[in-house]
Amino acid sequence: MGDSPAFSFSWARYGRAMRITALLLPFAFLALAACGPADSDPGPGGVTVSEAKALDEAAAMLDERLEAAEAGKAEAVATPSEGEEE
């Protein structure tokens, strides 16, 4: 067969600095992946991220008001007014 070992331990040939770098490199990538956009970064439509969040909140508030108004109209149609008799 030959004099080569069954398993190659090529990592043992590297120096200490290389092994430390190889161990720390994945953590560096994870730290960079955790970084999100800053509030002043441009977002969709040319507005900043914070402006986009504010627009989303305003749209949600308007949707809630519209739903409440529609529920009020449905309630008014379901119940007769005071002057009417059944």
Span 80-84, average pLDDT? 58
- How much is the pLDDT for 57? 95
Per the domain annotation, does 85 fall within a domain?
A: no
- What pLDDT score does 73 carry? 78
* 84 belongs to a structural domain: no
Is residue 49 one of the residues assigned to a domain? Answer: yes
50 domain residue, yes or no = yes
Residue 86 in domain: no
Is residue 59 domain-resident? yes
Kindly state the average pLDDT of the residues 14-40. 81
Q: Which residue has the higher pLDDT, 72 or 60?
A: 60
How many domains are contained in the chain? 1
- Distance, in Å, from the CA atom of 15 to the CA atom of 12, rounded to the nearest integer, reads 8
Q: How many CB atoms lie within 10 A of CB 50?
A: 14
CA distances from 66 to 57, 61, 78 (A): 14, 9, 18
Q: Which domain holds residue 32?
A: 10-78
The answer to whether position 37 is within a domain reads yes
Across the chain, what does the average pLDDT equal? Answer: 77
Could you tell me the pTM of the whole model? Answer: 0.42
pLDDT over 80 (residue 55)? yes
Residue 83 domain-assigned (yes or no): no
| Angle at the Cα of 40 from the Cα atoms of 34 and 54, rounded to 5 degrees | 95
Contact yes or no for 12/19 (Cβ under 8 A)? no
